[in-house]
Amino acid sequence: MFYVEKQDSQPRVYELTDKAPEPTGPFRRYITKFEQTPAFIVHSKMHGTHEKAQPYVVRGVSKRGTLLVQATVETKYEPIGRWLEVECGDTSEGYRFKRYLLKPITTLIKIASDVAKANARADKQRVHQADRDEKCGACPVCFGDYVVTASGAARLKLSGAAQYKMVHHGYERPGVGYIVGDCHGVGFEPFEVSCEGTKSWLKLLKQTLVRTKELLAGVDTLEQVSVVTGTKYSGYGRRRVSLPEYKTIQRGEPGFDREIESLRGKYERQVDSLKRDIATYTKHVTDWKPQTFPRVVKR
């Protein structure tokens, strides 16, 4: 049996029925329906300006826990028998239940749920990491551990006959539609299989060292230098990027000698850094030996 609100009734009137009627009218998309419950008394201050909680008799309850009640005492705000809808938590009994019993229970349930979710995430991470560890290799340039791709049938199951290549890594996504700053080792075989990527990077370092030395030698012959004077912005929204603004200083103008010395120091630091990198990568190439691959990385 259900208590169903009668349409267009003011104040609200509810009728007891075996089946809720179908919604009618353009603005009545649903009809409040309460399942009949044994009558019991609850107290609430929610209706009217009561100095103390007033007693109401419960007639029904909805699926979301709202109580259908009737006033049992007459006040200046409510006549006896008036129908009202009260949230369970707005009653003195519901508040005590929520405060002293339901809250600790829900807290324990939440703790147990959080623990279960954490365990599920850890299990998923372990499975993912175990799968990744079987397919990762050392980049021949940056020597970080990254997943490799395998050609042909080896995409599903890695085998010794597969040709492995390093996936994209070391890049950024500034929001311009493509990745920026990919590592030089992308596309080369992992260092365990081949050092060709290391040789390629070493060759590039040596070429860069030659160009940097030429720039350092030509610093004193410069007749003008460009200096950054500020920042300008281009684009809108997510595509908005900052770009440096430059100013050209001619020889003899204020600040020219200072910029020349700064440029000289920059090139000297680059030369020193390149020499150290060349020594390091030369040792990698000299000491390289093939290793078993794929390998499992223990973390």
Over the stretch 136-174, which tens digit does the pLDDT of each residue have?
888 999 998 888 887 644 444 444 455 788 888 877 776
Percent of the chain having pLDDT more than 70?
Answer: 85
Q: How far apart are CA 44 and CA 214, in angstroms?
A: 88
Q: Classify residue 238 by its DSSP letter.
A: G
Q: What are phi and psi of 186, to 5 degrees?
A: -65, 130
Q: Which residues of the chain register pLDDT less than 70? A: 20-31, 48-50, 131-134, 151-162, 174-177, 237-239, 295-299
pTM (2 decimals)?
A: 0.51
Predicted local confidence at residue 153, as pLDDT: 42
Contact 274, 212 (CB under 8 A): yes
Concatenating the DSSP letter of every residue in 54-88 gives EEEEEEEE-TTSEEEEEE-S--SS--TT-EEEEEG
Name the token pair of 293: 């691959």
Strands 136-138 and 145-150: antiparallel
pLDDT of residue 52: 82
* % helix, strand, coil for the chain, step of 5: 35, 25, 40
Q: Which residues, 6+ apart, have CB-to-CB distance to 119 below 8 Å?
A: none
